[in-house]
Amino acid sequence: MKYVTETKPGHFYYRRNGRYWGRLPGLPGSIEFATEYARLNASFADVGKTPAVPGTFDAMVEAYLASGEYRQNLKQKTKDAYRYDLDILRTRFGKFRVADIEVKHVLKMRDFFADKPGKANTLVRTLRVVFGWGIGRGLMKTNPADLKGVNVKKLKIGAHKPWAPAALAKFRAEGQPHLVLAFELGLATGQRQGDLIRLRWDDISDGVVHVAQEKTGKELWLPVSKHLAGVLARAPRQAVTVLVNSRGTPWIKANPLAQAFGAEITRLGLDGLVFHGLRKTAAVALADVGCSTKQIAAVTGQSDQMVEHYTRGADQKRLAKAAVVKLERSGKGKC
């Protein structure tokens, strides 16, 4: 029978497109076997013409995307992120009955993306959100993406490295002008790409940049440094927004800027660095000159805990240097 594989006597599975999509109950010819076989066949019909089969992950995702929790409770940026993740997840789980999805399936998916641990963890988080929504609707009884419940930790993600002075100089000198402007804004303000692409020229006045952070909802007023003032004075005003793409039009979303910036980093041989590292670079630079956690947080808009996490190394070096200076001045010992 097409798409049916017997893995051992009496155990039949539906295999299609190189993957197993579930075990078929009973034996060929039985009502339960025929019902499940027909359901799985139907789930592969043209999704543009046929609605998702009830009970499948596809059906639950469609219901979630139509729910008030998704449409009304989430910010647009979060909606876009969830939608992007769910499109990926539907290619792996779409035809599965949600009742058949287990922790082992979630872990197998996560392991597939293990070379990108940040994305792997994000996909698990999105699954956990949707499964949690499904539990509340009686669509499933347990949450197989709740890995804490089975003592499975997130994949470790490398910290965003601050940019070294040589890397900063190279990007300034050799980067494409429209990306260098984004670089300068990120370094001077310590803000996220998503907030910077929405920055308008009229948000900058009287030597102050006004930023409304989408993620935190905070409003920040940041003094323009002399260096940034010079950069902005030389920058062409091609649109209502400060940052534009290579065609001179505003960035609509942060992802295209992130991709363009990443490609530029690769072209310049600065692999291992990312735009978000400029945020850490800004925080470390402020810590290096003795700014307090509160002062740094006032610039970056981060929590005190995150600032402390970002600047821990800088604080340690500064404190160690001060300690050695005190010791030398005391004349009581040598280091």
State pLDDT tens for residues 119-150. Answer: 889 999 999 999 999 999 999 999 999 988 77
Intervals of the chain under pLDDT 50 = 335
DSSP string of 167-179, one letter each residue: HHHHHHHHS-HHH
Residues 6+ apart with CB under 8 A from 25: 32, 33, 36
Please state the φ and ψ torsions of residue 5, each to the nearest 5 degrees.
Answer: -125, 130
User: Measured between alpha carbons, how far is 77 from 22 in angstroms, rounded to an integer?
Assistant: 34
pLDDT, residue 31, reads: 82
Domains and their CATH numbers in the chain: 45-150 (1.10.150.130), 165-321 (1.10.443.10)
Please state the φ and ψ torsions of residue 208, each to the nearest 5 degrees.
Answer: -135, 140
Residues in the chain: 335
pLDDT, residue 70, reads: 93
State pLDDT tens for residues 15-44. Answer: 887 777 778 888 888 888 888 888 788 777
Closest CA relative to residue 182, chosen from 70, 236, 261: 261
Closest CA relative to residue 109, chosen from 82, 88, 80, 130: 88
User: Measured between alpha carbons, how far is 137 from 36 in angstroms, rounded to an integer?
Assistant: 23
Q: Which two tokens stand for residue 127?
A: 């699954």
Decide: pTM greater than 0.85.
no
pLDDT, residue 157, reads: 65
DSSP string of 21-87, one letter each residue: EEEEPS-TTSHHHHHHHHHHHHHTS-TTTSPPPTTBHHHHHHHHHTSHHHHTTS-HHHHHHHHHHHH
